[in-house]
């Protein structure tokens, strides 16, 4: 983190050497209250790790500079400071980054949240593996902002990332490798079928059981290609691939019509070879996202069905190939797919409070979301019905059922934006929770 802070201030100094294109500043505050010990689910889920189940007060200050050197290149430097109470209270860096854009290539270094997808109304945040449920990971991320045409009927795009995990986890100072590749068939200007794969690997770091994990350049090449580890790797990584790999496939169909834009999509998730081979089908998210063009009060609607119950079958201890997928967990990297004790991906997978393993990773969820405007008010609504089964190791008997509802109204004035939110969670096993929140945000550009 110190290296990123030094780099940030260096880039700020460089930035002043050019004509300033624009300065953005915002300050935001929010207060929450609920009838239960926890806030309603959608108050804190997929909120970039800024809120948690016990947050009552939040303050956020953000600023950024932009310089456009020419029509093809632009530099942006930004940062934010977050203060909140709750489980993870205190003052912390929310973002601290530099982003350089050149034509269709965008490269970021530092701590930067990923762009919000599907207008923030999806249960998976548009990405079942990385849903913006946790705080931003420090690292480097390079992506293509637009696809390249290989042929008139074929397009491709990709991304690459390298991130650093925190010291306070089971395997200290582990790293994360990321890459993605998308191929798309373009039937017409208005019809596009795409298939993509996102791949992540946790590797390196210091395990309290196995000691230093391989992280040399040759080991990184093995991680990149999903190869097995060498002699310095643990036995399981010598048989399988090096590190803790996980990812997803996505198949999506995008169509544009006179009255609407529609996206139909399926994202699976995998933890090992069985998931890569789709033995866990139909686990994942199945969704439809529509943007009506002739309905003034609706900007977008999403409907999703998500399940994580297969996991390639019940695990059988000691039998190779039957360890089960156990989503977002791992035997070596026992903190799993979390950052600062928050699940990075789909928020309905619930981690244990001690940071090791999950209490629930098998669920059926039906989700609806909508956003739009009514007069001077903008609204966002979410409704999710979940059937939770626990885990294969410790199942919920009987199953738990819950309904999570959320609504927000936003009113913009010349002196800031005022928001009011309400959420109601119903469960057949725990106390029902009603929550309300009020917020204010002021921003200006120069």
**Cβ atoms of residues 206 and 253 within 8 Å:** no
Q: What is the pLDDT of residue 233?
A: 79
Q: What is the pLDDT of residue 446?
A: 82
- Backbone φ and ψ for 21, nearest 5 degrees, come out as -85, -40
User: According to DSSP H, which parts of 216-342 are helical?
Assistant: 217-225, 235-239, 273-276
CA 215 to CA 235: how far, in whole Å?
Answer: 16
Encoded tokens for 286? 């199945």
Q: Is the peptide bond before 97 cis (omega within 30 degrees of 0)?
A: no
Domains, the chain, ordered by start: 2-445 (2.40.160.130)
| Residue keyed to tokens 């860096």 | 93
pTM: 0.91
Greatest distance between any 2 Cα atoms in the chain:
66
Q: What is the pLDDT of residue 283?
A: 95
Q: What is the pLDDT of residue 372?
A: 97
Number of Cβ within a 10 Å radius of residue 153: 11
Closest CA to 314 of 393, 390, 244: 393
Closest CA to 39 of 28, 26, 50: 50
- In the 3-class helix/strand/coil scheme, how is 239-275 assigned residue by residue? HCCCCEEEEEEEEEEEEECCCEEEEEEEECCECCHHH
Q: What is the pLDDT of residue 236?
A: 77
Number of Cβ within a 10 Å radius of residue 113: 17
**Cβ atoms of residues 211 and 187 within 8 Å:** no
Encoded tokens for 36? 């239960």
What is the mean pLDDT, run by run of 10 residues, along the chain of 446 residues? 47 45 93 94 97 96 95 96 94 97 97 95 96 96 96 97 94 96 97 97 94 92 87 77 92 97 97 86 96 95 97 69 78 93 95 91 97 95 97 93 98 96 93 95 92
| Residue keyed to tokens 């008997």 | 397
Number of Cβ within a 10 Å radius of residue 104: 13
* Angle, alpha carbons 307-266-275 (nearest 5°): 65
Q: CA dihedral defined by 327, 95, 414, 68, rounded to 10 degrees? A: -110
Strands 395-413 and 377-390 turn out to be antiparallel
Encoded tokens for 340? 């600062």
């Amino acid at each position: 983190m110190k290296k990123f802070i030094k780099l940030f201030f260096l880039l700020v100094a460089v930035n002043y050497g050019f004509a300033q294109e624009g300065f953005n500043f915002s300050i935001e505050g929010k207060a929450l209250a609920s009838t239960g010990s926890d806030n309603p689910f959608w108050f804190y889920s997929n909120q970039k790790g800024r809120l948690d189940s016990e947050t009552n007060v939040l303050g956020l200050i953000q600023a950024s500079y932009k310089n456009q050197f020419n029509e093809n290149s632009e530099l942006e430097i930004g940062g934010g400071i977050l203060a909140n109470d709750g489980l993870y209270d205190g003052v912390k860096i929310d973002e601290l980054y530099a982003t350089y854009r050149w034509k269709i290539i965008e490269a970021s270094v530092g701590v930067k949240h990923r762009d919000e997808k599907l207008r923030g109304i999806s249960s998976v945040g548009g990405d079942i593996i990385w849903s913006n449920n946790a705080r931003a990971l420090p690292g480097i991320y390079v992506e293509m902002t637009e696809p390249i045409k290989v042929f008139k009927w074929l397009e491709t795009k990709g991304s690459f990332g390298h991130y650093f995990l925190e010291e306070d986890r089971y395997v200290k100072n582990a790293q994360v490798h990321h890459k993605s590749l998308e191929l798309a068939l373009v039937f017409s200007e208005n019809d596009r079928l795409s298939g993509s794969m996102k791949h992540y690997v946790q590797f390196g770091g210091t395990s309290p059981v196995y000691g230093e994990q391989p992280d040399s350049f040759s080991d990184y090449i093995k991680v990149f290609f999903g190869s097995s580890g060498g002699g310095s790797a643990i036995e399981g990584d010598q048989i399988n691939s090096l590190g803790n790999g996980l990812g997803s496939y996505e198949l999506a169909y995008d169509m544009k019509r006179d009255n609407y834009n529609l996206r139909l999509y399926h994202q699976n998730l995998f933890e090992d070879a069985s998931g890569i081979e789709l033995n866990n089908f139909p686990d994942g998210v199945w969704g439809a996202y529509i943007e009506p063009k002739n309905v003034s009060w609706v900007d977008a609607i999403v409907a999703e069905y998500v399940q994580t119950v297969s996991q390639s079958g019940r695990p059988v201890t000691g039998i190779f190939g039957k360890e089960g997928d156990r989503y977002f967990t791992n035997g070596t990297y026992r903190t799993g797919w979390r950052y600062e004790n928050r699940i990075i991906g789909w928020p309905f997978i619930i981690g244990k409070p001690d940071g090791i393993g999950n209490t629930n990773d098998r669920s059926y969820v039906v989700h609806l979301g909508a956003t739009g405007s009514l007069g001077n008010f903008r609204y966002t609504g979410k409704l999710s019905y979940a059937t939770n089964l626990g885990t294969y190791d410790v199942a919920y008997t009987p199953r738990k059922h819950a309904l999570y509802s959320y609504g927000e109204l936003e009113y913009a004035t010349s002196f800031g934006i005022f928001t009011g939110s309400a959420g109601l969670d119903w469960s057949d096993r725990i106390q029902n929770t009603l929550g309300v929140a009020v917020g204010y945000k002021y921003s200006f550009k120069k």
